[in-house]
Chains A and B, each alone.
Chain A
């Protein structure tokens, strides 16, 4: 070991000693790290991911081929769970509902997020504060916001009704949460309000990396503000826009908390998205085998959408 004679370096040798003992003899210029250190450092994380993600994934395939109840013995049923998906009207209802919800919120989230980004992208006075404000609801999270919305959606007393009454739009007695379409509308509004900030953050960094000269030359060419946005900003940001669209579509496909908290999926099944339906099948009706077959379908769909995300990221490099 190349060691000079200063005090600190002696100390360094003492600190290094245990590591050296564990490893093989080290030549004067060889690595100080004992062999296998890199692997040993990565192993705990790999172990966690294997035990709590990959093993359940494999296990899921197995469970989906059984009639697994939550309690008691099970037997193999082959592909019966998958075959019954076709006739599972309630499942398809939840698929249609999730798709409808996704279609309703995706574009507004992009547009609102884009507008927010336009407002705060230049470093003006107060733009940092505005960024914080726009992003705050996302940080607070949909579960907490849903609890707060529960009281504001009450007929006669909630702020939503108070506001609509003050604007002379309604009489202020709307029972938002017990009517399927109204509850869906309210939840969509909450989600757009809460998560557009994420799209904004993703877009800002993209916008700030666009060279200023491009805008200046567009301006010289006489382009209007709209022209510059459509011909400079949007084309250059298409990958970032694609990324944020994919993230919000995945988020919509996996939506759960806001529905569970605000409507419990009701009235009837009117506001039951896929994840809530699977949750009910598994933990209320205790049909774990059937529920897991549905989960496998969900995993495949979400994995395909995520693959698009990785493809976009690869393109960027």
Chain B
């Protein structure tokens, strides 16, 4: 799904007390000092650990397990990543995670857009029931239906399968996606659709030519959430996947950590975790606008 990003990260834009902000006018210097202190503290507490983690990925196991010191920072190299490439498990897991997360994002967005269109722009008998049915699943944690779900997927030959995982993740992400898409469709002015109707456009054409441009932000939000959820999900993947060649990245990393692939190499673990981290950071920083929109539209989420 292609989305246009006009606003890349660049959050540090100087914006002097926009109307919504408070404290711009006549701000005391104490307040400003506190703000600067808080900002410095934030960087130390939240950014330094992440930078440290990235540096770890470039340190060999021998350095990571040695008494830590600043000298460790000079012994950086690509050894872990080369090691992961030749070792194979983690690299294959990255591929699996990518396939599963991208497929989940696509399927969730298609299902949610379709349902959002139906619920946001059509009045039909049972629409309230359908919406309630989808929303009520927000109250049922998938962690608590794991055993019946496992047996059901097993009976459908969908355990130990990337497809099974994609179907499961898409369902988990669906209530939120439907909520976002329904709001997106419902907020399109009726006049636009009326015009399309007068011109004789059908359902599909009304969607592709009139509504789509207006709901693309909602679709981006849905896809982003679904991708991130699938990319980081652990319990479901751990339960449903049994063959090593299908493991997603978190499952593969836990095997690495518990020594299933031979002697534990913390350098590989750090490199693997950083590979897991990087797409989240990049996607979030680049598409933050959609993420925050989702928060606002969804309201209900965990």
Interface residues of A (CB under 8 A from B): 1-4, 9, 12-13, 15-20, 31-34, 36-42, 44-46, 48-57, 59-60, 63, 68, 116, 119, 121-126, 128-137, 139-141, 143-144, 147-148, 150-152, 154, 156-159, 161-162, 172, 193, 201-202, 205, 208, 212, 215, 243, 247, 250-251, 254, 256-257, 260-261, 264, 275, 278-279, 282-283, 288, 291-292, 295-296, 298-299, 302-303, 306-307, 309-310, 313
Contacts and interface: CB of A to CB of B under 8 A. Distances in A.
Given A132-B288, A143-B250, 9 more contacts: A19-B205, A40-B118, A42-B118, A122-B21, A123-B18, A144-B276, A157-B66, A158-B68, A256-B235
B192 interface: no
A33 B196 CA distance: 11
A237 to B, nearest CB: 14
A49 B136 CA distance: 10
Interface stretch (B81-89, B98-106, B107-115, B213-221): B107-115
| Overall SS of chain A's interface | helix
B295 interface: yes
| Overall SS of chain B's interface | helix
B127 A38 contact: yes
5 contacts: A12-B200, A38-B119, A49-B171, A137-B50, A162-B68
B134 to A, nearest CB: 5
A185 B137 CA distance: 33
A59 B200 CA distance: 47
Given A45-B134, A125-B14, A279-B235, A52 B168 contact: yes
A130 B45 CA distance: 12
Contacts, number: 332
B147 interface: yes
Given A141-B280, A150-B269, A156-B67, A60 B147 contact: yes
A152 B148 CA distance: 37
A123 B21 contact: yes
A254 B239 contact: no
B234 A302 contact: no
Nearest to B275: A144
Given A144-B277, A159-B52, A150 B257 contact: yes
B235 to A, nearest CB: 5
A67 to B, nearest CB: 13
B167 interface: yes
A133 B47 contact: yes
Contacts of A9: 199-200
Interface string B52-67: 1100100000001111
B148 A129 contact: no
A257 B251 CA distance: 10
A60 B127 CA distance: 27
B80 to A, nearest CB: 12
A19 B148 contact: no
Contacts of B144: 60, 254, 275, 278, 295-296, 298-299, 302
A295 B39 contact: no
Contact of A42 (B114, B145, B147): B114
A119 B42 contact: yes
Given A12-B199, A147-B273, A205 B295 contact: yes
